[in-house]
Amino acid sequence: MQTKSENRCFGGVQGVYTHASNACSCDMTFGLFLPPEADTGPVPLLWYLSGLTCTHENAMTKAAAQGWAAEAGIALVFPDTSPRGEGVANDEAYDLGQGAGFYVDATQSPWAPHFRMYDYIANELPVLLGAHFPLDMDRQAITGHSMGGHGALTLAMTLPGRFRSVSAFAPIAHPTESDWGRKQLDAYLGSDHDAWTRHDSTLLMHEHGFDGPILIDQGASDQFLHLLKPEALAQAMAERRQDGAFRMQKGYDHSYFFVSTFMEDHVAFHAEALFA
């Protein structure tokens, strides 16, 4: 692992690190914020998964999360959204290929050799983080925006016991019934729709839900509402009597202005679960 940068931030340290990934068969980069409390012992970890076209850097610099995390004594990890580099498959479209890993393990050509983002987030990166940084890996929570909200919800519901809480900002909530989902799931996983089910938070909510609290914020003026399909997830949560809240925020769109506005609420929500 190589340290690309480390900067003092809200009394803690915001670092950027690169490592050779076995899961993705290429170098991967992530950001990690450690609060001041990490100087004296392990701290809980909140994952932030980013959306389409993003790298590790977008949320790290735009989501306004570090100050609230420092106040709560929580670390933040910002993984990249896909494998990258020479020899990694790509597509001219912004919503497929590099920058659009969709947090799945691809089985189809040309994506299968590198696009294993589920394995990377679920298995490889947690081991690396636990081995090299003062993190309490028994206390983890996860959040994300858009494609990253999809990833956060599906990882939380398919890894029972891993995360104490999950939240999302404008998640792609029903990808098997959306153009932000069908295209990518078909490309990465093929035409077997049974393989798609574990990557659809609405279907997972109907099937078994999440064994902890959920917080969803959705902008009512989001320009991508027809692709996100939040109403499907909200209905599934209600039908399941899921412990959680779904909030429609009047006037807010899909941008980082929306994310940063409600970040304090999300960090406080996760802190309550992580320190319970």
Pull the structure tokens for residue 193.
Answer: 């729709």
Please choose, from the candidates 102, 268, 271, the residue with its C-alpha nearest in 3D space to the C-alpha of residue 175: 102
Pairing between strand 12-21 and 214-219?
Answer: unpaired
Structure tokens of 183? 């295209």
Chain centroid, CA 174 distance in Å: 16
Q: Which two three-digit tokens encode residue 159?
A: 């890894």
| Spatial distance between the Cα atoms of 151 and 144, rounded to a whole number of angstroms | 7
Q: Is there a contact between 165 and 269 (Cβ–Cβ < 8 Å)? A: yes
Active-site pick, 146, 165, 167, 201? 146
Contact 231, 7 (CB under 8 A): no
Catalytic residue list contains 146: yes
Q: Which of 50, 222, 266, 270 is catalytic?
A: 222
Catalytic residue, candidates 114, 254, 266, 270:
254
Residue 45 · residue 77 · CB < 8 Å: yes
DSSP lists the bridge partners of residue 97 as: 100
Whole-number Cα distances in Å, 39 to 11, 35, 95, 157, 181:
10, 8, 40, 32, 42
Read off the DSSP letter of residue 115. Answer: -
Please report where in the chains the tokens 């925020």 appear, as a residue. Answer: 249
Q: Which residues are catalytic?
A: 146, 222, 254
